[in-house]
Structures are given as structure tokens and as C-alpha cells.
């Protein structure tokens, strides 16, 4: 038995440590630990609820819109504000752009180097690379000349001897299986994606002033004025710019990202049966399509138990509890009890080893993440959960269509999606579904302009004197990495308590009171490890979740009443 420690897990957001027992060439047991805490929920107490989105937004600068969205929804729910159609449409565009851009960056810049050997790319034949690229896509940057240039650029970089961010990696590891030509194609697209993400995210600059940390959110709506007859507003010039950026997004996802994922997956098909872990899935659903109190959601909500896609259950938020049995917190009710976010507590209390340390005390408490459970069960969240729920309910039809298409091409059954590679494929498919949907919202924005609908914010609820003296709210959102919920208690116009249960807490949390491991921990069991001192395969499975540890900070709430109505909007 070899004890493997991966700390820091790099190419993620935040600070994650994995410890694993490896025996007989595979992981027998694994522990996931978040090693950073800031306490932003505590910092929010006593503040103006209209400011909360900006604070919450700083939980994460990678998924830089998600906590702002969940926060304004929670406050709106509490005070009874209703965002007008323009605000709903702008938010849908911002959320979709965030998901698409994040998924592309994740694949190329955070995940790909687990599957792509840059050093091997140096021995690629550019002509053969060109043939390979042209056989999977009609993307124009695919000539032998182009690939010669890319190869020579990488070669020159390597020969200079300063490898920078590419130094000390696992190049040449036996688990790398792509031919040199596929490696070279992927390296070229790594560089292209770096350029693409900068351009595509201008959608956020147009709608939010800047990225990261967009600055156009408002409780009750958005701060970006809409007026086809004003230069300082979103107008038809903006619509034209958005159309162009969306079209470029569709192009890149369809002709580069999806073909690359399918091509790389075809060399690693055994990873469709590795890394399933927890097969309960949760999606809160998102992208409201109308302005009612219970809007239809473009990406549907639902619960899947034990991988049974034939039965999608509705989500009941009252069934969410968090455990701290193995987390560095204390509960007044005892550390073996779970608490619903509305009754949650956060008393940070570090009892881990004194730094510097070699090993965590995994039999005791070992993470800053709590362990959220749904009806007592661990749940996996993220693009795979959303795409499986969509597949199960049959909507949006485009999701089902693309999933079936991918499975057919890879000659794999739907159950193959419960895997490390399944998470990667589902993320790509979701990017395509969402980038294609953006055009619909751009046109809806233009339609509003035609009607001279200038409303962007519910001005009737801006003044705190219009709010109930004591109110509670919850806001739900599907972030790139999965289901996100914020809970807020507002008293006398100030935040009394604030709590977040975030995607990476669902996925990366430690064991609970019953000893049930979280999705990271469960999915690592059985993951092969050829060389324990170079645990490349562990990175593959962990990265397939797209870890975002800064989001794992916690949380406080000590409210006394049940949520009367939880609105998913």
C-alpha cells in the first residue's frame, strides 16, 4: 500500500489536496481536502443586501458571475423584487457565456495536459497532423504549414531550456496514449483557445463592463440600460456585436472543441468505465424562459438516483442538509447531525495537523468543505448531472440529440457517461447546447428594443423601506461546475445571516457522519495509478470535475423558520 499525496492539485481554481491509498496499481481509498478558508459569509453579515452580490461574487474569479447571480436571486426572493424581461434575458446571456467560456478553458488549459503530451507533439508529422485535423473537422486552421509552424514554435520553446509552466510535468508517462499528431493538434488548439477565450468573453464586457468580476448586477434587475436610440445603452450596435461574438462561439465549439473531445476520447475509451463514483445527480435547473413566478427553465431541474435515467424526480430543497463530521467546523447540535442551510451554522475550528505537515488526520476532520447531502445521499453536480437530467426528461431536445450523436460516434451506451470521460464529454456537449441557445436571447433583446421596453430593474423594490422588516430568501443557479444555492435572512434592511452551498462542496466534500465519501473521493476508487510518484491518472479523474475550491468557503445561518416557498428563477 502506497500513500500518495497530491498537494497542490494544480490547474484548478483554489487549494485542493488529495490523499490516496494505492495498492495493486489502483486507488483503494481517497480523501479530498480543501485547504483554504476566508469566511465571506461571515463578512456579509450586517451589510446592505443590495451590496451582497459584489461580495459573494469574489468567492470565485474563475466562475466570476455565478455567486453574483445566486445572490441577487436570493435577495430578490426575500424582498419580493421581480426583474423585468430585459434583465432576465441579459442574465441568461451572461450565464450562458460564462458556462461556454469556462468549459472551453477547462478543457484546453486545465484538463487537456492530463491527456495530451506536449513533448510527444514535437515528433509529429505536420502533414499527417493536417490529415488528422481535416478528417475530424473543416476548421480552416489545419494546413500542414500551420502545423509545421506550431511544432516549430513549441520546439523552439523547449530548446530554449526554460520550460516555465510546462516544467516538471509527467511528459512521457505510460498513460499518455495519443499519437504525436493528435498531441500536436491539441497543442495548437490549446494556443488557439487561449486567444478565443479573450475574444468570446467580450460578451461579458459588453453586458457587464468587464471580466473578470462583471459589474452590472443589481438586486431587481441589471444596470445596463437598453435603448435602441441611445449611444450609452445597449442598442442595435450592441446587438450586432453580440451576434458576431455568439457566431464565433458557435463556430469554435462546433468545429474545434467538440471534435477534439471526441477524437481524444476515442484513444482513451477505457476511461468511460473509470471514475463513475457517485451516480446520484442533482440539477436545480436554470435559464428561465418566461417571467412568471415558476418559469419554465431551458436547462431542467431534477434528481437522479443510482443512475436511473428513467425516473427523474423533482428537486425538494428542504431535503438538503450539510454535515461537518469530517470538516473543520463545530455544530451546536453535535458533529454527527446534518443541518438544512436555513438552520446551518458555521463555527470554523481547525483541528488539523500543525503546518508544515505530511499527512492529514483523515480519520478525524480533514477539510474546509462541508458535506452536503440530499435526503441523506451524496449527489454529483455539474454538466454531467445537467445533461443526464436533460436526457432523462427529453428537453432541451438539442441536448438529447447531441448526447445520442456522441454516444453513437463513440459506440458507447448512456451508462458510459457515468465516468471520468463522461464528465468531460458532457461538459463539451453542454457548451454546444448553450452557445447555440445564446442567439435566441440576443434576438429577444432586440425584440424588446423594438417595443421600446426600457425596463431593466424593479425600481419599486430598490428602497429598503419597501422591504418586509424580516424576510428570508433563497436563490438557485446552475454554475459551470454545478448546482449553487444562496440563502439569506434580511432583518431591518441588513443581512442577518448568509449561506452558500456550492458545486465544489457537493462534489469535493469529505465523508459524512455515515462515512459516505463525496463524489471526488468515490470516483477515485479504482482509478489506475501506474506510477505512484507520478499520479497522472488521479489528476484525470479529479480534473474531470473541474474543481473550484475557492467556492468551498463557508457559511453561516441560524434562522428559525422553514422556507415558505423556494423559487428556482
261 binding other proteins? (CB under 8 A): no
Q: Is 363 a catalytic residue?
A: no
- Given the rule CB under 8 A, which of 213-221, 405-413, 422-430, 435-443 is the region that contacts other proteins? 213-221
Question: Of 142, 326, 373, 548, which residue is the catalytic one?
Answer: 548
Among 308, 357, 394, 466, indicate the residue that binds other proteins (CB under 8 A): 357
Half-sphere exposure of 481 (CA within 13 A, CB side): 32
58 binding other proteins? (CB under 8 A): yes
Among 71, 98, 224, 432, indicate the residue that binds other proteins (CB under 8 A): 224
Q: Shortest approach of other proteins to residue 9 CB, angstroms?
A: 6
Q: Is 13 a catalytic residue?
A: yes
51 binding other proteins? (CB under 8 A): yes
* Dist CA 471 CA 33 (whole Å): 35
Nearer to other proteins, 60 or 402 (CB): 60
473, β-bridge pairs: 488
Q: Shortest approach of other proteins to residue 247 CB, angstroms?
A: 17
Enter the C-alpha cell of residue 141: 486552421
Element (H, E) at 192: helix 180-200
Q: How many CB atoms lie within 10 A of CB 373?
A: 23
User: Which residue is associated with the grid cell 483557445?
Assistant: 193
Q: Is 560 a catalytic residue?
A: no
5 binding other proteins? (CB under 8 A): yes
231 binding other proteins? (CB under 8 A): yes
Enter the C-alpha cell of residue 28: 483503494
What part of residues 100-159 is at the interface with other proteins (CB under 8 A)?
A: 105, 109-110, 113, 118, 149, 152-153, 156-157
168 binding other proteins? (CB under 8 A): yes
552 binding other proteins? (CB under 8 A): no
Total binding residues toward other proteins, as defined by CB under 8 A: 105
383 binding other proteins? (CB under 8 A): no
Among 191, 236, 240, 333, indicate the residue that binds other proteins (CB under 8 A): 191
Nearest to 255 by CA among 405, 133, 377: 133
Nearer to other proteins, 199 or 398 (CB): 199
Query: How many Å from the N-terminal Cα to the C-terminal Cα in the chain?
Result: 49
Nearer to other proteins, 129 or 280 (CB): 129
165 binding other proteins? (CB under 8 A): yes
- Return phi, psi of residue 98, to 5°: -60, -50
- Given the rule CB under 8 A, which of 200-208, 248-256, 392-400, 561-569 is the region that contacts other proteins? 200-208
Nearest to 518 by CA among 401, 369, 317, 332: 369
- Given the rule CB under 8 A, which of 210-218, 298-306, 380-388, 501-509 is the region that contacts other proteins? 210-218
Among 93, 132, 206, 495, indicate the residue that binds other proteins (CB under 8 A): 206
Q: How far is CA 316 from CA 203, 375, 569, in A?
A: 34, 9, 15
Contact 507/382 with Cβ under 8 angstroms? yes
Q: Is 471 a catalytic residue?
A: no
540 binding other proteins? (CB under 8 A): no
Q: How many CB atoms lie within 10 A of CB 183?
A: 25
Question: Of 50, 63, 216, 430, which residue is the catalytic one?
Answer: 63
For residue 99, whether the previous peptide bond is cis, meaning omega lies within 30 degrees of 0, is no
- Return phi, psi of residue 37, to 5°: -140, 135
Nearest to 424 by CA among 335, 524, 543, 521: 543
3: CB partners within 8 A, 6+ apart: 19, 20, 21, 22, 359
What part of residues 402-421 is at the interface with other proteins (CB under 8 A)?
A: none
450 binding other proteins? (CB under 8 A): no
* Dist CA 141 CA 134 (whole Å): 9
Question: Of 17, 50, 67, 326, which residue is the catalytic one?
Answer: 67
254 binding other proteins? (CB under 8 A): no
* Dist CA 78 CA 356 (whole Å): 44
What part of residues 462-481 is at the interface with other proteins (CB under 8 A)?
A: 462
Among 218, 274, 446, 501, indicate the residue that binds other proteins (CB under 8 A): 218
Q: How many CB atoms lie within 10 A of CB 262?
A: 17
202 binding other proteins? (CB under 8 A): yes
Contact 147/187 with Cβ under 8 angstroms? no
Among 71, 129, 197, 380, indicate the residue that binds other proteins (CB under 8 A): 197
User: At 209, is the secondary structure helix, strand, or coil?
Assistant: coil
Q: Is 504 a catalytic residue?
A: yes
Nearest to 226 by CA among 210, 207, 247: 207
- Given the rule CB under 8 A, which of 45-53, 256-264, 265-273, 503-511 is the region that contacts other proteins? 45-53
Nearer to other proteins, 120 or 197 (CB): 197
Nearer to other proteins, 388 or 508 (CB): 508
Among 85, 180, 221, 302, indicate the residue that binds other proteins (CB under 8 A): 221
> 43 burial class (0-12, 13-18, 19+ CB within 10 angstroms)?
middle
Could you list the active site residues?
13, 60, 63, 67, 481, 504, 548, 551
Amino acid at each position: 500500500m502506497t500513500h500518495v499525496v497530491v498537494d497542490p492539485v494544480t490547474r484548478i481554481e483554489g487549494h485542493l489536496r488529495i490523499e490516496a491509498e494505492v495498492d495493486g496499481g489502483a486507488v483503494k481509498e481517497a480523501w479530498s481536502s480543501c485547504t483554504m478558508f476566508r469566511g465571506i459569509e461571515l463578512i456579509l453579515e450586517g451589510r446592505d443586501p443590495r451590496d451582497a452580490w459584489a461580495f459573494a461574487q469574489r468567492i470565485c474569479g474563475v466562475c466570476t458571475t455565478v455567486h453574483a447571480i445566486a445572490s441577487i436571486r436570493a435577495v430578490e426572493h426575500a424582498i419580493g423584487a421581480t426583474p423585468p424581461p430585459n434583465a432576465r434575458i441579459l442574465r441568461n446571456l451572461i450565464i450562458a457565456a460564462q458556462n461556454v467560456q469556462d468549459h472551453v478553458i477547462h478543457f484546453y488549459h486545465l484538463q487537456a495536459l492530463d491527456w495530451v503530451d506536449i513533448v510527444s507533439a514535437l515528433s509529429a508529422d505536420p502533414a499527417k497532423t493536417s490529415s488528422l485535423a481535416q478528417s475530424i473537422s473543416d476548421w480552416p486552421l489545419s494546413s500542414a504549414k500551420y502545423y509545421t509552424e506550431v511544432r516549430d514554435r513549441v520546439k523552439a520553446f523547449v530548446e530554449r531550456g526554460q520550460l516555465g509552466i510546462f516544467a516538471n510535468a509527467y511528459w512521457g508517462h505510460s498513460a499518455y496514449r495519443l499519437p504525436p499528431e493528435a498531441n500536436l493538434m491539441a497543442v495548437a488548439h490549446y494556443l488557439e483557445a487561449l486567444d478565443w477565450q479573450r475574444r468570446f468573453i467580450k460578451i461579458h464586457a459588453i453586458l457587464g463592463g468587464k471580466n473578470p468580476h462583471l459589474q452590472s448586477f443589481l438586486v431587481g434587475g441589471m444596470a445596463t440600460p437598453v435603448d435602441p436610440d441611445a449611444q450609452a445603452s445597449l442598442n442595435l450596435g450592441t446587438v450586432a456585436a453580440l451576434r458576431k461574438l455568439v457566431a464565433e462561439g458557435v463556430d469554435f465549439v462546433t468545429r474545434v472543441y467538440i471534435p477534439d473531445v471526441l477524437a481524444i476520447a476515442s484513444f482513451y475509451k477505457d476511461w468511460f468505465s473509470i471514475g463513475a463514483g457517485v451516480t446520484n445527480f442533482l440539477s436545480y435547473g436554470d435559464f428561465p424562459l418566461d417571467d412568471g413566478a415558476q418559469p419554465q427553465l431551458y436547462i431542467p431541474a431534477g434528481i437522479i438516483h443510482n443512475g436511473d435515467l428513467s425516473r427523474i424526480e423533482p428537486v425538494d430543497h428542504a431535503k438538503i442538509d450539510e454535515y461537518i463530521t469530517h470538516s473543520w467546523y463545530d455544530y451546536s447540535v453535535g458533529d454527527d447531525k446534518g443541518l438544512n442551510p436555513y438552520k446551518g451554522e458555521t463555527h470554523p475550528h481547525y483541528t488539523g495537523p500543525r503546518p508544515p505537515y505530511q499527512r492529514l488526520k483523515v480519520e478525524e476532520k480533514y477539510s474546509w468543505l462541508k458535506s452536503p447531502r440530499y435526503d441523506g445521499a451524496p449527489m454529483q453536480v455539474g454538466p454531467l448531472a445537467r445533461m443526464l437530467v436533460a436526457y432523462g426528461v427529453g428537453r432541451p431536445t438539442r441536448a438529447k440529440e447531441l448526447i445520442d450523436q456522441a454516444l453513437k460516434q463513440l459506440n458507447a451506451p448512456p451508462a458510459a457517461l457515468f465516468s471520468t470521460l463522461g464528465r468531460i464529454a458532457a461538459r463539451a456537449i453542454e457548451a454546444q447546447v448553450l452557445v447555440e441557445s445564446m442567439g435566441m436571447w440576443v434576438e429577444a433583446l432586440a425584440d424588446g428594443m423594438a417595443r421600446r421596453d426600457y425596463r431593466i430593474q424593479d425600481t419599486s423594490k430598490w428602497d429598503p423601506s419597501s422591504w418586509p422588516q424580516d424576510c428570508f430568501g433563497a436563490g438557485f443557479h446552475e454554475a459551470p461546475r454545478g448546482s449553487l444555492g444562496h440563502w439569506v435572512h434580511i432583518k431591518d434592511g441588513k443581512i442577518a445571516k448568509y449561506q452558500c452551498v456550492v458545486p465544489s462542496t457537493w462534489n469535493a466534500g469529505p465523508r459524512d457522519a455515515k462515512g459516505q465519501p463525496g463524489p471526488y473521493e468515490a470516483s477515485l476508487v479504482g482509478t489506475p495509478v501506474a506510477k505512484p510518484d507520478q499520479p497522472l491518472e488521479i489528476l484525470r479523474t479529479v480534473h474531470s470535475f473541474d474543481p473550484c475550491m475557492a467556492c468551498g468557503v463557508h457559511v453561516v445561518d441560524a434562522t428559525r423558520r422553514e422556507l415558505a416557498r423556494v423559487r428556482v428563477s
